[in-house]
Structure 1
Amino acid sequence: MHEGALTAGQQEAHSGSVVVFYFPDDACVERANLLARKTRCVVVDNTPDQYVVAGLDSAVCYLPNGKNVGVATALNQGVERLREEAYATALLFDQDSSPSDTLIRELPQLLGELQRRGERVAIVAPAYDDPRLGGVADFVRFRPFVLKRIPATGEEPIDVDFVITSGSCIALDCWPSVGPMDDALFIDFVDLEWCIRAKHKGYRVLGVPWITMEHELGGEPVRLLGRPYPMHSPLRHYYLFRNAIELFRRAYVPLAWKLTELCKLPVRLVIYLCIPTDRMKHFGMALKGIQDGVLRRLGPYSDAGSR
């Protein structure tokens, strides 16, 4: 798998990275600085202007938006900057991601090897280790009414139906064909929709089981039937429901995913109504998401009266 790999210096010249900031603390800034010593690092900042981000190294390409334009738009801005500078791949990270040197080096290297063999691969991603949820998560494929879980084991890439953004590595030569992330979705299902679109265009989406990255999926988990269940903020639940409704309309989104998500939505509503401390806010924002999804009110959330 690793025959003919680029040297570290060659790989550094071909691979860039994008980090999205939103009210970053000092640790986030230091992680970006560390990343900039290993790869071309573009930081896209969605923090409002009133919040001053200090301490970034001069090697970091800093793109402040002055407001929250959404994860999709911020990632697109970072990717476009790397494309302008003729980079071949883009590693994408949340501000709290701490990728290993192995991930930074080997994901772009693997992508390059596969492309040299003539493989049409859009994105490769590590396995995710969330200790709060029981360790390394499975990769997934869509099946009607339930996701098929593929253990993150072995020494070969695994064809999957989607991967999460943070830690993933995109082949930038596929960007014009697949298109950018969907700005209108703003945050939730942005990665899933892009992967679905890439597969619809004939590209592969691959999980890389021998590379892992610690990553917290969602907020602090709650216990449900004795098992940890990831919980988000009420606003994130708004986007989750709204964007699911939007994706149900799209013909290129697989029916298997739609059927699975249709089964999940009422279960989530029951969970939000029964488990969180501020359950009525979670439930209300989910209902608002359903309403805005039906009415196709996309982009950033705002009260109905301001639309």
Structure 2
Amino acid sequence: IKSIAERNNLSYQGDGINHGIAYSLTQGAITAKSKGFNYYLTFDQDSTIPDLYVDNMKEAINTDPMIGIIGPVYYDINDGRYSRFPVMHNKLLVRREVFSDNEGIKDAMCIITSGALCRTSIFDEVGYFLNEYFIDYVDNEFCLRLLISGYRVCVYPKVVIQHALGNRKKKFGFSPTNYPYYRKYYVTRNRLHVWKKYFKYYPAFIAYDFSAFLFVL
């Protein structure tokens, strides 16, 4: 990977040890800040993006300085569906919604890290990703932290990426993620930590997330 990066004028960081995605995201953010970059864009290894992706996402985030992070709609190549996002209508109601591509920037409670764009300055205020989470729920915790700090978590429906969420296979109308056992451990552990930490701020979201959790298992 390092040799490929060097041939393409890219920077590669890694020590051969699996520190987890949260640690890697944090190290990338620290490097971006140290090199003077204003934006931080993250992807999963299986994401496919359209042309002008970066330009469109930068344009979207710059419509409001209070947008803490913004992401696209993603099309799940495993189950053939477009993403649904948790949207808070009031303190007692959070629902999953699909955004159409003719809508403008929409607010959500959480987005995934794949395709997400934020300003590097945001880390000075809210901190970095939680290394102890290792892999799962890193994105959700960061989004909730942004929200309680007064920032918006947004989706730009005009931009769509292809992404594989877990190992989904639609059966009897449901699409469980079919994660391996170790992923289910981190999903459960980290979710419980988030529920305890953010229940006083967003009880409706925690109730919503509990129901969503049943499908992950």
Q: TM-score, normalised by structure 2?
A: 0.88
Q: Distance in 2 between matches of 1:156 and 1:199?
A: 20
Matching of residue 165 in structure 1 with residue 113 in structure 2: yes
- Larger radius of gyration, structure 1 or 2? 1
Q: Which residue of 1 aligns with 2:203?
A: 255
The two structures, once aligned, show a CA RMSD in angstroms of: 2.2
- Of Structure 1 and Structure 2, which has the larger fraction of its residues in helix? 1
Matching of residue 122 in structure 1 with residue 71 in structure 2: no
Q: Distance in 2 between matches of 1:244 and 1:137?
A: 20
SS of the counterpart of 1:256? helix
Q: Distance in 1 between matches of 2:159 and 2:153?
A: 15
* Unaligned ranges ≥5, structure 2: none
Q: Distance in 2 between matches of 1:231 and 1:147?
A: 23
Q: CA deviation at 1:55?
A: 2.8
* Unaligned ranges ≥5, structure 1: 1-28, 30-52, 273-307
User: Are the equivalent residues in 2 in contact too, given 1:126–1:212 (CA < 8 A)?
Assistant: yes
Q: CA deviation at 1:160?
A: 0.8
Q: Distance in 2 between matches of 1:232 and 1:56?
A: 30
SS of the counterpart of 1:101? coil
Partner residue of 2:5 out of 56, 61, 68:
56
Q: Which AA in structure 2 matches 1:127?
A: V
Aligned length: 213
User: Are the equivalent residues in 2 in contact too, given 1:138–1:150 (CA < 8 A)?
Assistant: yes
Change (3 A) 1:160 1:262: closer
Change (3 A) 1:102 1:139: farther
Q: TM-score, normalised by structure 1?
A: 0.64
Q: CA deviation at 1:222?
A: 4.7
Q: CA deviation at 1:142?
A: 4.4
Q: Which AA in structure 2 matches 1:61?
A: S
Q: CA deviation at 1:73?
A: 0.7
CA deviation map 1:156-183 (0-9, x unaligned): 1001111100011111121111110111
Q: Which AA in structure 1 matches 2:183?
A: R
Matching of residue 105 in structure 1 with residue 52 in structure 2: no
Q: Which residue of 2 aligns with 1:179?
A: 127
User: Are the equivalent residues in 2 in contact too, given 1:163–1:192 (CA < 8 A)?
Assistant: yes
Query: Relative CO higher for 1 or 2, CA cutoff 8 Å, sep ≥ 6?
Result: 2
Q: Which AA in structure 2 matches 1:79?
A: A
Q: Distance in 2 between matches of 1:81 and 1:256?
A: 36
Matching of residue 230 in structure 1 with residue 177 in structure 2: yes
Matching of residue 87 in structure 1 with residue 37 in structure 2: yes
Q: Which AA in structure 2 matches 1:203?
A: Y
User: Are the equivalent residues in 2 in contact too, given 1:157–1:208 (CA < 8 A)?
Assistant: yes
Q: Distance in 2 between matches of 1:208 and 1:88?
A: 19
Q: Distance in 1 between matches of 2:187 and 2:139?
A: 12
